[in-house]
Structure 1
Amino acid sequence: MNFTCNGAIVEIAIRHMVVAGWTGRDATAIRHHIEELAAIGVAPPSATPLYYRVAAALLTQAGRIEAVGPDSSGEVEPMIIQSGGRRWLGLGSDHTDRKLEAHSVALSKQVCAKPCAAEIWDWDSVADHLERIELESWIDEGAGWQPYQAGTLAAIRPLADLMAGAEFEALAQEGAAMMCGTFGAKGGVRPAARFRMQMRDPTSGRSISHDYATATLPEVA
């Protein structure tokens, strides 16, 4: 895949993809996320955090994805990319089929594309203030953009701990990406036709954003 970093094009081979789940640092926040997913029929996790493997080919910078049925939705997440001894911080959406999630969280993540922003930041430029990085998302349910999620990386377990738990360094020898968890949704988890996300570095004032639409494919039985 081609990304932009500091105005230059960086070509990165990504052969492994991990989605880290249940990564909240605050036990109350984790419980809240478990409860909001339980409200749509999702069983609680066997442990926290968990590391789901999905196909690397699901990662996309497209502005439009397709999903079977009307029950999928996005989640804003920090994304670590590492290849060839270099590491970057990016922005992604763990788009998930919520109906299938009630049957299997792992399968619900595998069946959906994982949109990401085309711009990434060099890891060293943010490593000393990672926890100040801000993430937000908005959804459009037909009446314009509405706030959906917001938080800082301080609410997520340290990214170094998540990399260790996922054995990310070993995967990254061949090129890997990992989405690192998200925040509770304002008004509850729900699908929307359009999803917008942003990551902001308050130290430098720069930001990365991406939005995409989800086209619904017919659910044929």
Structure 2
Amino acid sequence: MFPLSFDVNGEVVEVPVTALLNGGYAGRSQEDVAAHVAELAELGVPAPTKTPCLYPVAPYLAMQADEVPAQHERTSGEAEWALVVAGPEERDVLLTVACDHTDRALEVHGVAWSKQAGPDVLGRKAWRLVDVADRIDELTLTAWADGEVIQRGTLAELLTPQFWLDDLRERGLLKPGTVLLSGTIPMDAAVDQFAGSWRVELGDPKTGDVIACEYRVSRMPEPVE
């Protein structure tokens, strides 16, 4: 298993991923959660029985990639932040940007299945969570699909990193090698999500610092069967 590698204030931190989890329906505002449920319902995705959700994903799907192969044209990303547990101490919890690339055609049969059909693309830079914890709600999250802004908001719209750290601790998963993605913010329905390229940025208005991940989507050859 290849480790993820992060630039943390000039220090290279490598993290072999042992557990990968995707949060879902994780908005702090129930109105935003309902909007996301309605957005997915238009694609035929059944509503969850409870929120937030947590989907375990195969660890090898955590990638720092420039290209995502797709089996068909109905796949798309989601702007998210990610927690990366890089060691045993509080200062070892990293915060970075992520894009959960999801198979929307498979999603109508099961959200958990769809999460296994595409990678979680993470940024190559990260911040220590303790360094930004006092202004977590001010951090921004923006996504572009084929160069058009499709998602824009702040981390105040999502459940906090501390919420998920507490949840991981209760589940016995708060240990080195665990990566958790936050869930996403609403999309602009006027922008085509089935794009050939995605870019997501996590920004800190106080410092002007930005962490980005960006990739193109490539169609795989048709199966021979």
TM-score by length of 1: 0.93
1:217 aligns with one of 198, 206, 220: 220
Gaps of 5+ in 1: none
**1:25 aligns to what SS in structure 2?**
coil
SS at match of 1:93: strand
1:115 lines up with 2:117 in the alignment: no
Please state whether the residue corresponding to 1:197 is helix, strand or coil.
Answer: strand
Question: Partner of 2:26: helix, strand, or coil?
Answer: coil
Corresponding residue number in structure 1 for 2:160 = 158
> For residues 219 and 168 of structure 1, what CA distance do their matches in structure 2 show?
44
Which residue of structure 2 lines up, in the alignment, with residue 139 of structure 1?
145
| Structure 2: distance between partners of 1:218 and 1:150 | 33
What's 1:48 paired with?
Answer: 51
**AA at the equivalent of 2:118:** C
User: What does 1:55-204 align with in structure 2 at a 5 Å threshold?
Assistant: 55-85=58-88, 86-140=92-146, 145-167=147-169, 170-187=172-189, 190-204=193-207
**Judging changes above 3 Å, is the alpha-carbon distance between structure 1 residues 163 and 211 closer, same or farther for their aligned structure 2 residues?**
same
Aligned equivalents of 2:159 and 2:68: distance in 1?
29
Deviations, residues 34-60 of structure 1 (Å, cap 9, x unaligned): 011100110001110000000111011
Deviates more, 1:67-76 or 1:156-165: 156-165
Amino acid at match of 2:134: D
- The one-letter amino acid paired with 1:155 is E
Offset at residue 170 of structure 1 (A): 2.6
CA distance in 1, matches of 2:160, 2:41: 26
Partner letter of residue 25 of structure 1? R
The CA distance in 2 between the partners of 1:128 and 1:40, in whole Å, is 38
1:169/1:47 CA distance change after superposition, 3 Å: closer
Q: Which runs of 5+ in 2 are unaligned?
A: none
Distance 1:151 1:219 in 2: 37
2:77 aligned partner, one-letter code: G
CA contact (8 A) 2:168 2:174 kept: no
Contact 2:137 2:154 in 1 (8 A): yes
Deviation at 1:73, TM superposition (A): 0.3
1:135-163 deviations in whole A, cap 9, x for unaligned?
000011xxxx1110011111111221223
Q: Distance in 1 between matches of 2:209 and 2:26?
A: 25
Q: Distance in 2 between matches of 1:169 and 1:44?
A: 24
CA RMSD of aligned residues (A): 1.6
| Percent of aligned pairs sharing the same letter | 31
Of the candidates 3, 8, 16, which is equivalent to residue 6 of structure 2? 3
